[in-house]
Amino acid sequence: MSEAMLAAFRHDAHKFAGESHDNAPETFCGVSVNRTVPMGADSDAGALSRPQQRQTQTVPTHHDHSRLSLLTGEPVANVEQAPRETIRELLAVGSVSTAHERWLASDVAALFNESVYHPYTSLKYHTLLVAALLDNYRDGHDFADCRLVVDPGGVVVPCRTVFEGSRFALRIDADDHDCPSARLGSRPWQSWASVWNRLPAHPLKTDRETFDMVLDANLRRIGAWSTALQYIEDFEGWDATPSEPWE
């Protein structure tokens, strides 16, 4: 049964090598990769971050799988130099929960975008969204049953946590276990700002903390889910000295 979940974590292995899906090899380091994810979880997660009609190059000067940072506007790294051993540890692991933990903590997966046409998206968070949706679907939940749930920091639900930061975690789940949550809606679209806006509580100190307010203000402007989750991670790691609130 864990094969389907492992397929979710391995379905975009070809993007690490810069290969198209059509030319993708079937194995990587002895494990099966680049297989179709069951139950439509990949296309649903893709629709959360990208338009589904004809794909066009949204940044004409950028043609590869290196992710562009929303913080700097620059490529985060030269992906050709991404350490192959670290990628192997993401893909070739045989335990579903270990794979999930590694993807949640991965820096290398955050170097890549999920589509060369949409270079601000994140392969790391796209893959975590695919896994979370698939895990819910396998439990009998439809997309319309799923919610964005805000968990306290340190709480990780296997396969369903899609973001883990130092202060809070975010999960896709049909049951919020009395944590703040909002429905994803009836169908997948680039709905990040809409869902974030409908949460009954935000995990940021937006009353007084200047940098949290800036982060929140920008999160309300982003549509793509993988871009937004990656932005929270990047913003947390941003080397900025917090200042006093404005008067």
Partner 1 sequence: MTLIQQVHWELEMDYIGHPYCVSGNAILHALGQRLSHDVHCHLNASHGVFVPGQFGRFSDEHSQTGVRPYLGSSLPDVEAYDDLFLMRQASHSWLLDSRPRDALNTHDIRLQSGHPAIAHETITGKPEGRRKQQQTTKWYVTAYLHADRDGVLPLDEDILMGIQFGGKRNYGYGSMRLKDTQVVDVASLDYSQLEDGEAFILELVTPFVLESEYPNAHEQDVPWWWDADRSGLRKREEKLLGRGNVYRLQTVDHGQVVAYLGDRPVETAKSGIFRVGTHSKYGFGELRVKPVAPRP
Q: Which stretch binds partner 1 (CB under 8 A): 8-16, 21-29, 57-65, 83-91?
A: 57-65
Q: Least separation, in Å, of the C-beta of 33 and partner 1?
A: 29
Nearest residue (CB) to partner 1, 2 versus 197: 197
| Residue of 157, 148, 147 lying closest to 228 (CA atoms) | 148
Q: Which stretch binds partner 1 (CB under 8 A): 4-12, 13-21, 73-81, 98-106?
A: 73-81
CB 184 within 8 A of CB 147: yes
Our finding on whether 141 is near partner 1 (CB under 8 A) is: no
CB 220 within 8 A of CB 202: no
Show the tokens assigned to 27: 């194995």
Which of 1, 23, 73, 85 is the binder for partner 1 (CB under 8 A)?
A: 73
Q: Which residue has the tokens 């940072």?
A: 69
| End-to-end CA separation in angstroms for the chain | 57
Nearest residue (CB) to partner 1, 41 versus 47: 47
Report the alpha-carbon distance of residue 158 to residue 205 in Å, rounded.
Answer: 27
Our finding on whether 43 is near partner 1 (CB under 8 A) is: no
* CA-angle at 22, arms to 17 and 25, nearest 5°: 50
Which of 59, 78, 97, 105 is the binder for partner 1 (CB under 8 A)?
A: 59
Nearest residue (CB) to partner 1, 40 versus 75: 75
Show the tokens assigned to 156: 């990780």
Residues 6+ apart with CB under 8 A from 237: none
Our finding on whether 178 is near partner 1 (CB under 8 A) is: no
Nearest residue (CB) to partner 1, 53 versus 166: 53
CB 128 within 8 A of CB 103: yes
Q: Least separation, in Å, of the C-beta of 62 and partner 1?
A: 7
* Torsion sign across C-alpha atoms 36, 182, 112, 109: negative
Nearest residue (CB) to partner 1, 99 versus 232: 232
# chain residues binding partner 1, by CB under 8 A? 49
Give the count of beta carbons closer than 10 Å to the beta carbon of residue 82. 18
* Site of interaction with partner 1 (CB under 8 A): 51, 53, 56, 58-62, 68, 70-71, 73-75, 118-120, 193-194, 197-202, 206-208, 210-211, 213-214, 216-218, 220-224, 227-228, 231, 240-243, 246-247
